[in-house]
Structure 1
Amino acid sequence: MTSLVAFFLLTFAISWAPWPFGIFLPCGPLVAALIVAAATGTLRDLGRRMIRWRVPWYCYLAAIGLPLLVIVTTAVVHGGADWSLAWGDVTLLFLLRWVNPLDGPLGEEPGWRGFALPRLDSRWSPLISAAILGAVVTLWHLPLLFLDEGNPIGWAGLPTTFVITFVYCWLFRRSGGSVLLVMLFHIVQGAIVPGTLGYDGGDTSDVLALGLVAWTVVALALIVFDRAAWQRPSPTDLTGRGVLTTPIVQP
């Protein structure tokens, strides 16, 4: 528990410290995870999670398909999208998000999912630990509402962050604790944004609001129709080799 608290405090300190200067550092979770993992001797565990690619095939389908499904559905429902995408720009953004620590996927996922979630799961049920993590991550994003530059998330951003955390946690557990898979999910989710489809102003807010509804439906569907993923596993399952859980990490 001590390492988890230290991670959360360090994450907020790193990311929020430059807030008075109009800067938010999204690499806070990554840096905090590396520091605390190194101090507690669990850095190797985190590294293994980041390269874990042998996962059930449906995890890849979910990591790519769910974000695209939400993007396309919300755009179709709203209407007025420009589908003549600059695929070269989208592809470049997709590749850059893998290696840019100042972007969400690499800056956040090793910390939130790779470090924090296994420790939460070792103490609470999967549903409760997802709710706790969702609340923490949502609070962490708060400065983005007040920044003029960067990537303000709009009024729908905070509740969407909370809801989508349940989807991230589901994918992480079903992939046997793979940070690589949740990074893929995060990358695809942000590769095509409302601006990419030609939305601006009020249309952007409307599309983000539709996205909140869509992700709420997805999260509820995963909870209702895949109940096994939200049940506390037996001790024999806590090995990191199954698809229902993530290994317990000590301390």
Structure 2
Amino acid sequence: MTTTSPVRRKTGLPLFWAVTFTTSWACWLVAILLGGSPLSSPTAIPYLIGGFGPVVGAIVLRVRRARRHEDAPAHAVSSRPGVRWLWVVPLLALASATVVAAAYLAGALGGPAPSLTAGKDLIATLGGPVPFVVSMLIGGPLAEEPGWRGTAYPRLRASMGRLQAGLLLGVVWAVWHLPLFFITGTVQSSFGLVSWSGLLFCLSVVPMALLTCYAYERAGVVASIAVHFGVNTTVALLTATAPMTQALVLAVQLVVVLALLGRSPRPAAAVTRPARA
């Protein structure tokens, strides 16, 4: 006679992983087979849909929880407007500052100096500041955070501490990105999987996960979206993709997030009801 573990039975994490990876990797496999740029038809369609795999996983779990009339996870954090939202702007600024600091530090150590030239070209290519901001907000933050932080993280916290949950989610998040290395035209494909840049990208996902998890505990999914957006947008504007700069971004973010976790041993905004997760 066997029994199902409480975490597996109550959280539904295996279902979330299955839906998220199946949705994303199936769509990205189609994009790989189609070839071409992920910004042009027909490759753009499966490429973009694949990015929403975590949201699809979150929706499936939300529907299942509603049908079963289950309560929100104990570590779910409400994103309703309130005092917690005061954290959003400072966390966004902090996330961007980690990239800026690393970029200037790399320049001071003999690496490439930070420049907005390529960033301005990217904005022009996308049609201006508004399309650029919208694309950076949708492609990553909105497509992923409701799933990774809003759904998976509070369920992981049911059986492990904040650091362990953040590290595990970071590793899973890094693995989830792997097919992007084989889609021509993505940032990951320009790095190459077997390269220092590819390795550093995968490693950098871990401190990024810890930082977004910290933001989630402070002000919910809105804050984790802001942090994700701040890092991605600053990297794009400064073209902070050289190996030295990548390594320093990883180091700076790791120092910052460990300092934040060290100062805040208990979640500041965790609620049990009513939260959406």
**Fold in common (TM above 0.5):** yes
Tell me which residue corresponds to 1:232: none
1:83-94 counterparts in 2 under 5 A? 83=116, 86=120, 89-94=128-133
Following the alignment from structure 2 to structure 1, what is the Cα–Cα distance between the partners of residues 271 and 207? 21
1:228 Cα deviation after fit: 3.0
Residues 119-168 of structure 1 show CA distances to partners (whole Å, capped at 9, x for unaligned) of 11222222222222222112212222333322316321111111221111
TM-score under structure 2 normalisation? 0.70
Tell me which residue corresponds to 1:128: 164
For the Cα contact (< 8 Å) 1:118–1:246, is it kept in 2? no
Match among 209, 212, 215 for residue 168 of structure 1: 212
Following the alignment from structure 1 to structure 2, what is the Cα–Cα distance between the partners of residues 96 and 209? 26
For the Cα contact (< 8 Å) 2:77–2:271, is it kept in 1? no
Q: 1:173 to 1:191 in 2, by over 3 A?
A: same
1:30 Cα deviation after fit: 0.4
Residues 185-241 of structure 1 show CA distances to partners (whole Å, capped at 9, x for unaligned) of 1112212225x3356xxx623222221111111122122232234xxxxxxxxxxxx
Runs of 4+ off more than 6 Å: 42-46, 248-251
TM-score under structure 1 normalisation? 0.77
Match among 91, 95, 115 for residue 82 of structure 1: 115
Match among 219, 230, 238 for residue 197 of structure 1: 238
For the Cα contact (< 8 Å) 1:12–1:140, is it kept in 2? yes
For the Cα contact (< 8 Å) 2:100–2:234, is it kept in 1? no
For the Cα contact (< 8 Å) 1:90–1:191, is it kept in 2? no
1:90 Cα deviation after fit: 4.6
Tell me which residue corresponds to 2:21: 12
Following the alignment from structure 2 to structure 1, what is the Cα–Cα distance between the partners of residues 246 and 253? 10
Q: CA RMSD in A?
A: 3.2
Residues 63-103 of structure 1 show CA distances to partners (whole Å, capped at 9, x for unaligned) of 211122112112211222224664884554223444x3xx1
- Greater Rg, structure 1 or structure 2? 2
For the Cα contact (< 8 Å) 1:138–1:158, is it kept in 2? yes
Tell me which residue corresponds to 1:67: 95
Q: Is 1:140–2:176 an aligned residue pair?
A: yes
Q: 1:34 to 1:198 in 2, by over 3 A?
A: closer
Q: Give % identity.
A: 25
Tell me which residue corresponds to 2:84: 56
Match among 41, 57, 60 for residue 32 of structure 1: 57
Following the alignment from structure 1 to structure 2, what is the Cα–Cα distance between the partners of residues 250 and 124? 20
Unaligned runs of 5+ in 2: 1-7, 33-45, 108-112, 192-197
SS of structure 1 residue aligned to 2:165:
helix
* Residue identity opposite 2:132 in structure 1: L
* Residue identity opposite 2:163 in structure 1: L
For the Cα contact (< 8 Å) 2:28–2:179, is it kept in 1? yes
Match among 254, 263, 267 for residue 225 of structure 1: 263
1:230-245 counterparts in 2 under 5 A? 243-245=268-270
For the Cα contact (< 8 Å) 1:50–1:180, is it kept in 2? no
For the Cα contact (< 8 Å) 1:63–1:184, is it kept in 2? yes
For the Cα contact (< 8 Å) 2:211–2:227, is it kept in 1? no
* Residue identity opposite 1:245 in structure 2: A
1:11 Cα deviation after fit: 0.4
For the Cα contact (< 8 Å) 1:134–1:162, is it kept in 2? yes
Following the alignment from structure 1 to structure 2, what is the Cα–Cα distance between the partners of residues 44 and 95? 33
Q: 1:142 to 1:55 in 2, by over 3 A?
A: farther
Tell me which residue corresponds to 1:95: 134
1:250 Cα deviation after fit: 11
Q: 1:26 to 1:118 in 2, by over 3 A?
A: same
Unaligned runs of 5+ in 1: 230-242
Aligned residues: 228
